[in-house]
Structure 1
Amino acid sequence: MTVHEHEHEQDGAALLRPLAGGRPMGPSTVDVARAMADGDRHHRRVRIAGAGATAVIVAVAGWAAVTDGGADKPAVTGASPNQEPGRSTGPKGCEVQKLAEGKAVVSGSDPTGRYIVGRTYESGHPSTVVWEDRQLRKVPMPGDDPTLYDATSKGVLVGTSFTTADTTTAWVYKDGKFSKLAGTDAQAFAINERGVIVGSVQGRAAMWASPDAQPTMLATPAKGMTGKATGIDEDGTVVGALVGGEAKADLGYVWSPAGTVQQLPQPQVNGKPATTYSAKAIRDGWVVGWAGHDDPARGGGRFIGAPRWNLRTGQFDMADGLMWVVNAQGRIAGEQTIVAPDGTTQKLPLPAGYDEKTAMLTVEALSDDGTVVAGYLSSRGSTMNAEPVAVTWSCTS
C-alpha cells in the first residue's frame, strides 16, 4: 500500500464515522437484468438454484473477519431492523398498472416509493425520467447510456452515464438540475437520506460525503483490490463487491460506519460454496445480493441464488433466483416473487396480455411499507410484448 492510498483510506474512515446512528435506510442497485432488457443480452447458461423461492434461515457463528497484520477486526454490526427475526409483515394483495406507454424501464426508487426512477426511449434513444407520485417527469441526464439508480425521499437522484466512449461520469440531480460528482471515470449507485453517495472511481469502491465533496476511496483488505460500493444504509454502513489479491472473482463486502471492511459470509449455492457473490443493496440492516456457483462438471453452467444477510443478528438465508431489492422489513425481490424473512412468498400479478410462461419481470423498487412495487416486464418470443414496459403495483398492507 502506498502512502497516498493509505491517506485515502484514513480519510474514508474519518468521513464514515460521523454517520453512525439514526434509522438505517438503503437503496436498490443493480443493472444486469436492465442491460438485458435494453437489448444487451449475453448468451449464458444459467440454472436456478433449487426448485421454489423458499428461504431457510442459517445461523452463522460470526462475520468472516478480514485480517490486517494478523489481527482480527471487530465484528460488523448494522443498525437494528424494525422487526424481530422471522416476523413477516407486508402487502396482502397488489394491483398492477403501466407507468408509461411504449418502451420504458424502472431502475430504482426512494424508500417511500414516491419517486421512481428509470428511462424511456423516445426515437429509440434512452433518456432518464422520474415518476413522482406515478406522474412522469423528464429529467434528461447528460451523456450516453444514462441510468438513474437511486433517489431520496426529497427527490434527490443519482446515476451514471458515459461522457466519452469509455469514461463514465457520476451525476446527482438536485433542485431541478444535474451536477457532476467529483472524480474521473466515476459511477454513482446509491444515496442515503443524509446525502451520502456511494459508487466507484477508476474501478475502486468510493463514497462522497455530500454531492459537493471529493470522492474518498473505501478501505480494502488487500492492496490492489478493485470493485464498487452499491448500497448505503442511513447509519453509513456500505455494501458492495471487491476482487483482487487472493480473490479471483467478486466477493461481497461490508464497510462499517467506522470505516472497517469485512467480507460477508460466503453463501452456499446448490449445496456448494459460492464461487462468486456480491452485496447489491442494504436497508435497515438487511443486505441482499446474488451468489453463483460455477459447475465445470455441467459444462460450465452456473447455479444462481440470492443471499440475504441480517447484520444485526449475524444470520443469513438463501432465496432462489435473482434478487436485488430489499426493504426495511427485510423483504427481497428481483423477479416476480417477493420473499419475506420468514420464507413466505408473494407473487406479483401480471398485466393483461402477458403470459406466466413467457413473461420476463424485473422488480427494481420496493417501498419500506411494501405498498409500492415497481419494475418492468417483457415477453419472450412475443412481437407485441417484446420491448420492456415500466409497471408499478399498488399493494394493500
Structure 2
Amino acid sequence: MNDEDYGALLLRPLKTGTPDGPTRIDVAKAMGDGLRARRVRTWSTVTAVTAGLAAIVTGGVLVLMPAPAPDEELPQPVLPADVALPSSCTVDTLPAGDAKSAGVTGGDPTGTYLVGATEPVYNGDFDVLVWKNGKLVADVEYEGPRVEMTDINGIGDAVGRSNEGIPKPYAYQGGKVRPMKGIGTPIAINDAGVIAGGTEHAVDEPYPQRWSSWDAEPEPMPLPDGITSGYAFDITEDGTILTALDSVTKTRGAYLWHADGEIEAIAAPAMDIDQPVNVWPIAFRYGWVYAAAGTDAQQSLFRYDPISKFWQKINDEPYSAQLPAGGPQGLFASPKVYIGKEMFALPTVEKYGDDYFMIESLSEDASVIAGSNISSVAADRPVDPMIWRCR
C-alpha cells in the first residue's frame, strides 16, 4: 500500500457522514498523505564562497586549505538573505467554476499560477483546475484515470500522476492533460520543463528519476554504492534535484542530483545525539535546502546553504509550520508557514470554524500563499481552495 492509498483509506470513513463524537482519524496525516504535493522552488543565485572553508574544489581536484590557528576567528559565510516577513495578509476563496468542492495542489515560485483539482477527496472527480493571478483559467476533465497534479511552473505547465493503482505520470500542457512516458510520480517541474520525480513500483524499491520534458523518457538517478532506494523532493531552475537516499545501514541522507549528472552528498548537520543522524529533505526555498535531521524520536529543523555548505538550525519542532514541497505536510487549525527562519501565522476565515488548513503553495517572496481547508470531523462539508495575498 502506497502513501496515497493509505491516506485514501483513512479518509474513506468520512464519506459516511458526520461521525458520532470526535473523529479518531489522524486528519493531518490523512490529508498530508492523500493530497501530498511537492513544489518546485527556485534556488538563489548566491555565488559568494567563504574563504574559511577547509577545502575547495578547483577544476575537479580537491584542494586542501591551511587550517586556521587555534585562536583565529573563522570568517562567517555569506548566506542567502532572508525574505522580509509580511506586515499583513488577506484571505479569499478561489473560484472553482461549477465544482461544489475544490482544492489547491501546487503553485509556481512567483505565485502567478496555481493548480488544483475538483472534489479532491477519495473517489473524487479530480478535474484539473488552473488559476492565474487568482482567476480560474482552465477546468479540464481527463477521459481516463483520475489525475492529480502536484506542481505547476511559471508558464502554466503542470505535472502529476494517476491516483489509482500503480502511479503513471501525466502532464497538463497546451491546455490538455497528457500521459507521460514511463511509470512513477512527477513531483516538481521548473520553467525549463525539466521534471523531477520518482518511481513507485509494487515490488521494486523506489528511486528518483527525471524527465527532460513532459514527452521524454524518464532517466533514473544513478544510485551510489550502498544505496537501496530513494525519493525526489524538489528541483531548482538550474535543474538540480533534491533527493533523499536510503542506505543498507538503514540511514537516510540528503543528496543533490545536478543537471550534469553529478551526485553530491550533503553531509548531515552536527547534532548532540548518540545515534547516526538521518536527514529528511523538505524543499529548496529562499536559496536554502530545508530538512529535518536527527532520529525517528528526536528531530530538529535545519536549513543548508548549498554554496557555503553551512547548516543553520531553526528549531526543534520541524513540522510546527508548513513549507510546501515534497516533504511531510499536514493540516493545522491555525495555518502557519516558514518564512526564512520564522513561523508566520496566516489569518483564517470565521465561517470555517474548527476546520483545518493545508498550505500547498508559497511564493519565493512570500506574497502569495495558497492551500485548502478541510472539515475536522466529516467530508460532507466542502473543501475550498484558498489564497492569501500578503504584503
Scaled to the shorter chain, the TM-score interval is 0.5 to 0.7
1:314 pairs with 306, 309, 317, which one?
Answer: 309
Q: 1:196 to 1:43 in 2, by over 3 A?
A: closer
Give secondary structure in 2 for the equivalent of 1:214.
coil
TM-fit CA distance, 1:387? 5.2
Match in the other structure for 1:168: 167
Match in the other structure for 1:190: 188
Query: Are 1:111 and 2:113 matched, yes or no?
Result: no
Give secondary structure in 2 for the equivalent of 1:253.
strand
Using the size of structure 1 for normalisation, the TM-score is: 0.67
Between the aligned partners of 2:372 and 2:269, the Cα distance in structure 1 is 28
The share of aligned pairs that are identical, in percent, is 25
Between the aligned partners of 2:105 and 2:248, the Cα distance in structure 1 is 32
Alignment check: 8 A CA contact 2:80 2:287 kept? no
Between the aligned partners of 1:131 and 1:152, the Cα distance in structure 2 is 12
Match in the other structure for 1:8: none
The number of aligned residues is 319
Q: 1:42 to 1:340 in 2, by over 3 A?
A: closer
Q: Which runs of 5+ in 2 are unaligned?
A: 13-24, 30-49, 55-59, 65-77
Quote the RMSD (CA, aligned, Å).
4.1
Match in the other structure for 1:293: 295
Between the aligned partners of 1:365 and 1:142, the Cα distance in structure 2 is 27
Q: Which amino acid aligns with 2:237?
A: E
Using the size of structure 2 for normalisation, the TM-score is: 0.68
Alignment check: 8 A CA contact 2:103 2:120 kept? no
Between the aligned partners of 1:272 and 1:290, the Cα distance in structure 2 is 17
Taking the TM superposition and a 5 Å limit, the aligned residue runs for 1:1-397 are: 35=7, 39=11, 84-85=79-80, 87-100=82-95, 102-121=100-119, 125-127=124-126, 128-136=128-136, 137-141=138-142, 143-162=144-163, 165=165, 167-183=166-182, 185-201=183-199, 202=201, 203-222=206-225, 225-246=228-249, 248=250, 250-266=252-268, 276-283=278-285, 285-291=287-293, 293-295=295-297, 303=298, 305-316=300-311, 317-319=313-315, 320-322=317-319, 323-325=322-324, 336-341=335-340, 343-355=341-353, 358-381=354-377, 388-396=383-391
Give secondary structure in 2 for the equivalent of 1:225.
strand
Alignment check: 8 A CA contact 1:37 1:387 kept? no
Larger Rg: 2
Between the aligned partners of 2:146 and 2:260, the Cα distance in structure 1 is 35
Between the aligned partners of 1:43 and 1:292, the Cα distance in structure 2 is 25
Q: 1:265 to 1:366 in 2, by over 3 A?
A: same
Between the aligned partners of 2:61 and 2:289, the Cα distance in structure 1 is 22
TM-fit CA distance, 1:293? 3.0
TM-fit CA distance, 1:256? 2.6
Q: Greater shift after overlay, 94-103 or 192-201?
A: 94-103
Q: Which amino acid aligns with 1:352?
A: E
Between the aligned partners of 1:385 and 1:394, the Cα distance in structure 2 is 28
Q: 1:304 to 1:362 in 2, by over 3 A?
A: farther
Q: 1:44 to 1:233 in 2, by over 3 A?
A: closer
Q: Which amino acid aligns with 2:261?
A: G
TM-fit CA distance, 1:105? 2.3
Q: 1:74 to 1:389 in 2, by over 3 A?
A: farther
TM-fit CA distance, 1:98? 1.4
Q: Which amino acid aligns with 1:228?
A: Y
Structure with greater contact order relative to length (CA < 8 Å, sep ≥ 6) = 1
Q: 1:274 to 1:373 in 2, by over 3 A?
A: farther
Q: 1:222 to 1:213 in 2, by over 3 A?
A: same
Q: 1:264 to 1:154 in 2, by over 3 A?
A: same
Deviations along 1:197-238, whole A, 9 cap, x unmatched? 111235221111122222111122225622222211111211
Between the aligned partners of 2:61 and 2:125, the Cα distance in structure 1 is 47
Deviations along 1:161-202, whole A, 9 cap, x unmatched? 146x3x21111111112222221x321111111111111235
Q: 1:220 to 1:98 in 2, by over 3 A?
A: same
Deviations along 1:289-314, whole A, 9 cap, x unmatched? 4456333xxxxxxx555432221232
Q: Which runs of 5+ in 1 are unaligned?
A: 1-30, 46-58, 64-70, 76-82, 296-302, 327-331
Between the aligned partners of 1:142 and 1:74, the Cα distance in structure 2 is 57
TM-fit CA distance, 1:157? 0.6
Give secondary structure in 2 for the equivalent of 1:364.
strand
Match in the other structure for 1:300: none
TM-fit CA distance, 1:160? 0.7
Give secondary structure in 1 for the equivalent of 2:196.
strand
